[in-house]
């Protein structure tokens, strides 16, 4: 039931955003960690440049 309520509150603005996940290697240990954010579609390229 909760899924229906949450879905009905959204107004279609989700199409303008993308969830991006970037893998970052630690300089100390060499282990990888993941950084994830929700950014606008226009800012996806900038997210991966940094």
pLDDT band, residue 2 (cuts 50/70/90): low
Task: Read off the pLDDT band of 15 (50, 70, 90).
Answer: confident
36 exposure class (CB count in 10 Å sphere: 0-12, 13-18, 19+): exposed
Please determine, for residue 46, whether its predicted confidence score (pLDDT) is greater than 60.
yes
CB distance 25 to 36 below 8 Å: no
What is the pLDDT, as a whole number, of residue 26? 94
Residue 4 has phi, psi (to 5 degrees) of -65, -40
> Reduced to 3 states, what is the DSSP secondary structure of residue 12?
coil
Q: What share of the chain in percent tops pLDDT 90?
A: 58
């Amino acid at each position: 039931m909760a899924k229906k309520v949450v879905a009905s509150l959204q107004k279609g603005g989700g199409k303008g955003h993308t969830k991006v996940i970037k893998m970052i290697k630690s300089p100390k240990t060499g282990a990888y960690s993941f950084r994830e954010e929700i950014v606008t579609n226009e800012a996806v390229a900038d997210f991966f440049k940094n």
